[in-house]
């Protein structure tokens, strides 16, 4: 596991707890609602570290019509600096599992950009 500061680690754990609560409340049951959660996270006013941690967890996991697949904490720690750079460049993307979408590969996965216009095709 990549070494990160305790503050970043605690922010990732807090972000995972927040996202777990959203999943329990049904806010991420479908691809469209999961994408909305990610976009709202990008636009929300929150401490920078928490926002980075939330987006790290969201972009490290997979969004599908079966809900959000939470990534391991070690995976989030590995992706923290990459997510931070992508946030600055406005180049974040999500891994989406939707076999019925035209953009999906043979396994049903595709990446979707967070910024810009996104169309969910069925």
11: which DSSP letter?
Answer: H
Least confident segment among 3-17, 50-64, 76-90, 104-118: 104-118
- Indicate the pTM of the whole model: 0.82
Distance CA(30)–CA(122), nearest Å, equals 13
How open is the CA angle 11-69-27, to the nearest 5 degrees?
Answer: 80
Least confident segment among 6-20, 28-42, 44-58, 68-82: 28-42
**Cβ atoms of 18 and 38 closer than 8 Å:** no
The pairing of beta strand 109-113 with beta strand 93-97: antiparallel
Answer yes or no: is pLDDT of 99 > 90.
no
Q: Tokens 């680690």 map to which residue?
A: 9
Residue 10 confidence (pLDDT):
94
């Amino acid at each position: 596991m990549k070494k990160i500061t305790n503050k970043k680690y605690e922010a990732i754990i807090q972000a995972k707890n927040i996202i777990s609560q959203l999943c329990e409340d049904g806010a991420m049951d479908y691809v469209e609602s999961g994408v909305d959660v990610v976009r709202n996270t990008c636009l929300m006013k929150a401490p920078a570290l928490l926002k980075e941690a939330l987006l790290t967890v969201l972009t490290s996991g997979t969004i599908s019509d079966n809900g959000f697949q939470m990534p391991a904490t070690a995976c989030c720690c590995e992706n923290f600096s990459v997510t931070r750079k992508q946030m600055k460049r406005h180049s974040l993307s999500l891994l989406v599992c939707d076999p019925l979408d035209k953009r999906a590969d043979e396994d049903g996965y595709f990446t979707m950009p967070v910024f810009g216009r996104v169309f969910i095709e069925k």
